């Protein structure tokens, strides 16, 4: 039996983290989450030997302390994390920002949907592409 996937989720909005976790566990109940309120906290958790390595990293763009762009840049300079898939789910539909995120190392950029059904659709795509 395959061990559960561990998703690192950084978003400063607790409600958004909750909804993403709910959507993800509805689609694939066999995932564990490591939550962070910002990129700096996420990086600390990645370095914690007690926490499993990430199977996937999910980032918000706009967070205090360390935003999504700064976080993915820090992740991508670490050779041990270079191949870990990372997606960004942001309220920003600015194509320049999305382009910067991808250039910085994000594998896929999604605009946060305004319905739970929309979030389920994003999560299904993420699981199919990065966790299958």
pLDDT band at 14 (very low <50, low <70, confident <90, very high): very high
d(CA 85, CA 107): 6
Cα dihedral 34, 47, 130, 1 sign: negative
The domain in which residue 10 lies consists of 5-131
Cβ(36)–Cβ(63) below 8 Å: no
The whole-number pLDDT of residue 3 equals 75
d(CA 25, CA 40): 25
> In 3D, which of 44, 39, 43, 88 has the Cα closest to residue 63?
39
The whole-number pLDDT of residue 4 equals 82
- Whether 2 shows a pLDDT value over 80: the answer reads no
Q: What is the mean pLDDT of the chain?
A: 93
- Whether 1 shows a pLDDT value over 60: the answer reads no
Look up residue 71 and give its two tokens: 């976080």
- Residue 89: count other Cβ atoms within 10 Å of its Cβ: 23
Q: What is the CATH number of the domain that holds 33?
A: 3.40.50.2300
| Total structural domains within the chain | 1
Tokens 């983290």 locate to 17
pLDDT digits (tens, 9 = 90+) for 17-50: 999 999 999 999 989 999 999 999 999 999 999 9
SS3 62: coil
pLDDT digits (tens, 9 = 90+) for 51-98: 999 999 999 999 999 999 999 999 999 998 989 999 999 998 999 999
* pTM for the full predicted model: 0.94
The whole-number pLDDT of residue 132 equals 83
């Amino acid at each position: 039996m395959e061990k559960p996937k561990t998703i690192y989720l950084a978003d400063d909005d607790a409600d958004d983290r909750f909804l993403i976790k709910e959507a993800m566990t509805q689609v694939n109940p066999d995932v564990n989450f490591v939550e962070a309120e910002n990129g700096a906290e996420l990086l600390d958790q990645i370095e914690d030997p007690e926490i499993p390595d990430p199977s996937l990293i999910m980032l918000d763009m706009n967070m205090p302390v360390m935003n999504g762009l700064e976080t993915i840049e820090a992740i991508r300079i670490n050779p041990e994390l270079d191949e870990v898939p990372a997606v960004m789910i942001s309220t920003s539909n600015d194509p320049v920002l999305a382009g910067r995120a991808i250039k910085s190392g994000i594998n896929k950029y999604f605009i946060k949907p305004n319905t739970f059904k929309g979030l389920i659709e994003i999560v299904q795509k993420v699981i199919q592409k990065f966790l299958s």
